[in-house]
Amino acid sequence: MLVMATVTACSDASSDPSESARSVQPSATTSNSREPAPSSAPSPPSSTTPAQLTLGRHSELATGLDAPWGLTFLPDGSALVSERLTGRIMRVPRTGGDPELVGLVPDVAQSAEGGLLGLATSPTFESDRTVFAYVSALPTNRVVALEIAEDFDAVTQTDVLLDGIATSDRHHGGRLRIGPDGHLWITTGDAFEPSNAADRDTLNGKILRIALDGSVPEDNPSSSAIYSVGHRNVQGITFGPDGTAFASELGDSQWDEVNVITGDADYGWPTSEGSEGDFGQDPIFEFPTEDASPSGIAYAGGSVWMAALRGQRLWQLPVAGDQPAGSPVPHMIERYGRIRTVEVAPDGSLWLITSNTDGVSAAFGGLPPRSGDDRILRVELVPAE
């Protein structure tokens, strides 16, 4: 049984955008009082007290990116960033600076929310020079392997690991992460056809898990790449220190979700949204869509950090093992506009991608870009006072 922490925050659009690292609690917070069921899972390391970190200094690493979306670190500490609409992969130096063009991913199809999306670096990059990418394309979306040239001046597609993910104008999912199991986890969307999410014969509205050669792991819950079902549009996935998989999901009009992902579970869409409705696995956190509309997530220091588009903030979600360990804390509300992606750098800081050049007509509260958009920010994590 999962404990549910429900946040019903009022819109705080009037809050002062110049104030950083706000730790105001949502105006109304309720927690389910049920005791968590006894679990045979090991407790998380006691050396990390949940929510003991907060945001420290912010600095700007790069500017002028065009609708950036995915970010993955390389062994040298630099990062590759995908540009959704141009299909370009850019490289940002470890200490920041002008993004440099690495190359173009072939056959990227633009749409309202599609294009070149998530990136994930091969664990053996130094020998295979491989980065995986989620590409919305025709006739279907796909996950590909890309070889990055030694001089970072070319991108070559070397393999298609998975295709057959139905495409559409919206709801592509698109995040990739290599799990502690060594497999590639892929988030998809319902392709704007809600019934896809409940249909176990489609790859849409799912969380998928494949081996790095594209094969289906023997311990997947089905004989396909499908790991969990009943998702509307999942754009974030991360893993806690005990291997717990967390995923962020864009709700329809009421509730965004953060779920703990277990094999073969159904997360309820389209029958239920958030914890409403009695079908499907409940989320561990939920948010009014105007406060979140989440994209990427990353775990660090006892919290899942969640990038919010329409909510224009970074959410801190305290967790312990697979349970919530406190109420969500919003940071940097409206300070940088929409936030697309958060990743943990090798030095333990967070790197954020803003998403203000995504088009003012973009879903989830598109904004006119400000000077320098879109940018990559570095945010230190420091002990809370």
Residues that bind Ca ion (CB under 5 A): 267-268
Q: Where are the alpha helices (H) located in the chain, listed in sequence order?
A: 125-128, 195-198
**Separation of alpha carbons 233 and 354, rounded Å:** 19
CA 165 from chain centre, in angstroms, equals: 18
Residue (2 or 381) nearer to Ca ion, CB: 2
State the nearest-atom distance from the C-beta of 273 to Ca ion, in Å: 6
Residue (300 or 317) nearer to Ca ion, CB: 317
Residue (122 or 259) nearer to Ca ion, CB: 259
Residue (128 or 199) nearer to Ca ion, CB: 199
Residue (174 or 268) nearer to Ca ion, CB: 268
Measured over all CA atoms, what is the biggest interatomic distance in the chain, rounded to whole angstroms? 56
Structure tokens at 61: 């690493």
**What region, left, alpha or beta, does residue 242 occupy, with left being phi > 0 and alpha being psi -120 to 50 degrees?**
alpha
**Which residue in the block uniquely carries the two structure tokens 């089905």?**
222
Residue (249 or 334) nearer to Ca ion, CB: 249
Q: Are strands 313-320 and 303-308 parallel, antiparallel or unpaired?
A: antiparallel
State the nearest-atom distance from the C-beta of 269 to Ca ion, in Å: 5
How many distinct helices (H) and strands (E) make up the chain?
Answer: 2, 27
DSSP 341-357: EEEE-TTS-EEEEE-SS
State the nearest-atom distance from the C-beta of 232 to Ca ion, in Å: 7
Residue (268 or 296) nearer to Ca ion, CB: 268
**Separation of alpha carbons 312 and 88, rounded Å:** 25
Q: Whose CB is nearest to Ca ion?
A: 268
Q: What are phi and psi of 30, to 5 degrees?
A: -125, 145
Question: What's the first-to-final CA gap in the chain, in angstroms?
Answer: 33
Is the separation of the CB atoms in 298 and 304 below 8 Å?
yes
State the nearest-atom distance from the C-beta of 283 to Ca ion, in Å: 6
Beta strands in 222-266 (DSSP E): 226-228, 234-239, 245-249, 255-260
